């Protein structure tokens, strides 16, 4: 059955499990396309154009923004980052879903874009702030002051939970992954998204009349 592709926004504070859930979702359905961002920062060793990022000069990036060719964009530590519109539209036309790992600000911009009707947004919450801090510490990647900064930012991010269509409290990663699959399955089955449903039903009715 033909259908239009979805734009799946997945957001959470750092340490809530968003990256693991995104990986689980893509393992479950390899047809999912992970959104590739454009950036003005220089490539790091091993990074491949079009795979990790689309690397653009600042002038080219700003021209894309001015022309409406970015679904969302932001400046982070002096570099510009954003989501090019064309690859997402191509995936949509092909009936493929695109997964976005963006914060609440990026999510707002995508929902406000011309493709907003194709968006489903999911926010992942930790079971508690104490557990979130424990997870950040257990990574062993950040100094205490960095973790404190992440915790402060997490409070701001969590305050935007009500802007999302769905909210998952990630207490158990397996249960959360199943909930995410259920959401995606249900959204794909919405009547309005199944573009081939009309011709299919007409075929059924013609068959009945024979």
Positions at the binding site for ATP: 12-19
For residue 121, give the nearest of 99, 136, 140, 142 by alpha carbon.
99
Binding-site sequence positions: 12-19
SS (H, E, C) 38-57: EECCCCCCCCCECCCEEECC
DSSP string, 116-128: GGGEEEEEEE-S-
Give the separation between CA 189 and CA 1, rounded to whole angstroms.
10
């Amino acid at each position: 059955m033909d259908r239009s592709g979805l734009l799946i926004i997945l957001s959470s504070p750092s340490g809530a499990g968003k990256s693991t859930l995104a990986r689980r979702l893509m393992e479950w359905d390899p047809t999912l396309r992970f959104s590739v961002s454009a950036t003005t920062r220089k490539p790091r060793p091993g990074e491949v154009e079009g795979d990790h990022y689309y690397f653009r000069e600042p002038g080219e990036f700003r021209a894309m923004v001015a022309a409406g060719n970015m679904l969302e964009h932001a400046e982070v530590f002096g570099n510009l980052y954003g989501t090019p519109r064309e690859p997402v539209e191509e995936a949509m036309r092909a009936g493929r879903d695109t997964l976005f790992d963006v914060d609440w600000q990026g999510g707002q911009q995508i929902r406000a874009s011309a493709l907003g009707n194709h968006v489903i947004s999911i926010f992942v919450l930790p079971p508690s702030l104490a557990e979130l801090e424990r997870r950040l510490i257990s990574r062993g990647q950040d100094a205490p002051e960095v973790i404190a900064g992440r915790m402060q930012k997490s409070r701001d991010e969590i305050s935007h939970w009500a802007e999302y269509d769905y909210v998952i409290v990630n207490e158990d990663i397996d249960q959360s992954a199943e909930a995410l699959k259920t959401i995606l399955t249900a959204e794909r089955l919405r009547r309005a998204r199944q573009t081939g449903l009309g011709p299919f039903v007409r075929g059924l009715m013609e068959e009945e009349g024979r």
